[in-house]
Structure 1
């Protein structure tokens, strides 16, 4: 229904952003959260969870490309990928762009997010939902990693809300302990760690927790316009420290073989390499090597 009103994001109590709403498309209270999707004047269609902007058609490519292509191209041989969250399907679509991926398991706790994304944000996932390599599970990611067999996945990608509400359990010791167990010998996990200018504790606490179970912990950055506050950090925890320093020529060759060169809007081999060079105000929140 047309509204021509404004929606104010509620992530930070003293600072934020707002969107002028051209048309509200859906507003649902699921078993887990309040979900709203609206059409904006500037960013295309927008999904909001519990008052916090999650994704927009206008800039989703930044976050999705960096969350996906960086770990998969750094690894180089990831055949089995686990995605936790990411109910809009954008991470799944980009994982499936990599021809070496044989199986992509996506576990999203809120089926309403998937349903509404399919109906109102179909461009984000494209045909990923129907790819035979994809296994989409509506369920609890915590339970999934707890029950998955050892060494089952090469890469785990966690696309969750902040560590409050439904996303809180994805930032616990038990979760990271099980992630380390089900990853292969060169396995790695990436997850969003907030905007450190406003959420430094999130990066610090999550990195320290992951350091208990992974020998190499760091972060890399992406500039996502609708994640207000500067750089978004993407946490990185790997069993092999060399993965974060994969030479740019190797990244370039792998991207070329996957058909990604010239097909992305944010990620490039140069952006990939540079994203690990953190400004001091971010790097200081990581645990010592």
Structure 2
């Protein structure tokens, strides 16, 4: 919104989710339509530069740690090995940044369907990816993640991270059985799989369906709860899975020491509490699987 004297005034940028709105007072930077979705970059008063896809909040520079630390470190501090990492989605670079903090990581394949998300994030959200775009361990693959995992050999990755948007549009297929089955096939037995699994309040059915689906395909799977204040309801979840044991519950001290000084949110105590913070009503449903 431009005032009469030519000064841009902040206005409310809202995500409409069901019967609720979640908004930030912001100014627009860019709105661009890719072949897959509308990509919006805004400058919010509270959280700095942020990203929306098809009108849904994805991330913002002063709050992204709530999401990226939660999806990465419970997996990378606990997998048997972290040499080979796969990220599906994550075109803003935040998840790759957290993965590449570990010197043990030899390669990160980042498979993002929408190359424009990567391009605009590099240009307008440089604090998220930081220097990862130039790290030789990172391989950018602009491709449909569903098609990509079908081509990967068995037992190929130590950690698989599904950093996707809501289960609509280009991300819809990342929440179905065949995709999760392929992820299990290409995960090394000592590895960890993780995905964002929506809000247990705003998206209760999707959340429960996602956890139950993953539990039906992996020997061990558990949801972890935290907060991302800009997301619908502010209450969010990530689900971790493994083939051999609940290894995602037990961070390795040497890995903790590698990243603990760079984290704003994550530490082993926070992680333990986040896994334990399962609401009783959800625990009852999952116990009956």
Question: Considering the TM-score relative to the shorter chain, is it more than 0.5?
Answer: yes
Q: How does 1:161-180 map to 2 (within 5 A)?
A: 161-180=165-184
| Structure 1 residues 140 and 285: alpha-carbon distance in aligned structure 2, compared to 1, 3 A threshold | farther
- Are residues 288 and 96 of structure 1, via their aligned partners in 2, closer, same or farther at CA, if it must alter by over 3 Å? farther
Determine if the alignment matches structure 1 residue 30 to structure 2 residue 34.
yes
Shift of 1:228: 3.1
Q: What's the counterpart of residue 105 of structure 1?
A: 109
Match of 1:267 in 2: 266
Q: Which runs of 5+ in 2 are unaligned?
A: 3-7
Say whether residues 1:20 and 2:25 are aligned partners: yes
| Aligned: 1:223 with 2:227 | yes
SS in 2 for 1:84: strand
Secondary structure of the corresponding residue to residue 123 of structure 2: helix
CA-based RMSD of the aligned residues comes to 1.6
CA distance in 2, matches of 1:216, 1:140: 27
- Change over 3 Å in CA distance of 1:49–1:285 after alignment to 2: farther
Deviation of the 1:3 alpha carbon? 4.5
Is the counterpart of residue 186 in structure 1 residue 194 in structure 2? no
Partners of 1:230 and 1:17 in 2: CA distance: 9
Post-superposition offset of 1:115 = 0.5
Tell me which residue corresponds to 1:279. Answer: 279
- Separation in 2, partners of 1:32, 1:192: 20
Q: Secondary structure at the match of 2:262?
A: coil
Superposition deviation, residue 91 in structure 1: 0.3
- Looking at structure 2, the residues matched to 41 and 229 of structure 1 have their Cα atoms a distance apart, in angstroms, of 19
TM-score by length of 2: 0.93
Give the Cα–Cα distance (whole angstroms) in 1 for the partners of residues 237 and 162 of structure 2.
13
Contact 1:207 1:287 (C-alpha < 8 Å) held by counterparts? no
Give the total of aligned pairs. Answer: 282
Aligned equivalents of 1:52 and 1:285: distance in 2? 28
TM-score (norm: length of structure 1): 0.93
Structure 1 Cα separation of the partners of residues 9 and 170 of structure 2: 29
| Equivalent position to 2:132, from 123, 128, 134 | 128
What is the distance in 1 between the residues matched to 2:243 and 2:106?
21
Name the structure 2 match of 1:158: 162
CA contact (8 A) 1:39 1:45 kept: yes
Aligned-pair CA distance for 1:287: 5.7
The answer to whether the 8 Å contact 1:204/1:287 transfers is: no
